[in-house]
Amino acid sequence: MNNTPNTSSGGPSPLLPFSGISQRGLLSLLMLLLSIGGITFALLGGARLIFDIFNVGLLNSLNGIVTKIIVIGLAYVVGWLSAMVAIRVYGNLVLPVIINLFIWGCLIGVCSLYVLILQRLYMQTYDDLHFWAYLLIVVAGLGALIGLHLIIEDHDLRPFAVPLLIINLIQLGLIVFRYVFTSGANPAYLLNDIFFFIAMSAFSIFMLVHIGLLAPLRVRLTNYFDRNSKAIRTEN
């Protein structure tokens, strides 16, 4: 008896495990893996860099910091571009859910950093170099969050503003308590406190009111990837 599988009918060969998956599906899966890997590596690298700054010390962390930032940025860009292609071009339906989880994780990280920085601002034991480092760290975290937000079509940032606004209120209370109800507060730090409060409050309010500052960029990205998506469908 001939046990050789019959493939003359045009059906998928059992020797080719992916023969039943279209090329479009394979590319979508590849973009999914690249995006998850790139964003995960970027977030882990950023978390390690921030951990070193807060625990090892800012001056000790400056050694090779440019190289670290470049590597983390590269991983983020690879993950971001892969996610855009997977969702906008190949119509991946799983990745938006995963990206939304990444956004919530990024928000939790930013809020945790915000609280840690408030402790240092309240104690008034930092110098100007540390103050600007704290501000840049939070801005980088918020920038990563905004980048992930742009990946998902019609994504709403307003719910993500609520935790930040709560911490804004806590910061305002700490400023009043520090300079009014406690003794020994150094007025020289007041300008830094106000600047940090205004910057974070402005960002939170822009997220909450949803005035569409990112709408032009989102439209350009959508149009660009829609054109590429149509071109791929035409080729297939």
Q: What confidence score (pLDDT) does residue 217 get?
A: 66
Average pLDDT over residues 52-70: 78
Q: Is the pTM of this model over 0.85?
A: no
Distance CA 214, CA 198 (A): 20
CB-based burial label for 222 (10 Å; 0-12, 13-18, 19+): middle
Place of tokens 């840049």: 136
Q: What confidence score (pLDDT) does residue 64 get?
A: 78
- Residue from 198, 197, 200, 202 nearest 174 by CA: 197
Q: What confidence score (pLDDT) does residue 8 get?
A: 46
Residue 62, token pair as written in the block: 């400056």
Share the mean pLDDT of the chain.
83
Distance CA 182, CA 123 (A): 12
Residue 152, token pair as written in the block: 């998902």
Q: What confidence score (pLDDT) does residue 207 get?
A: 84
212: left (phi > 0), else alpha (psi -120 to 50), else beta?
left
Q: What confidence score (pLDDT) does residue 13 get?
A: 41
Distance CA 92, CA 97 (A): 10
The 8-class DSSP code of residue 54 comes to H
Q: What confidence score (pLDDT) does residue 170 get?
A: 96
Please report, to the nearest 10 degrees, the dihedral formed by the alpha carbons of residues 170, 171, 174, 176 taken in order.
-110
What are the structural domain ranges in the chain? 22-93, 99-216
pLDDT of 119-131, one tens digit each?
A: 999 999 888 888 9
Q: What confidence score (pLDDT) does residue 7 get?
A: 46
**114 with 142: CB under 8 angstroms?**
no
Place of tokens 């409050």: 201
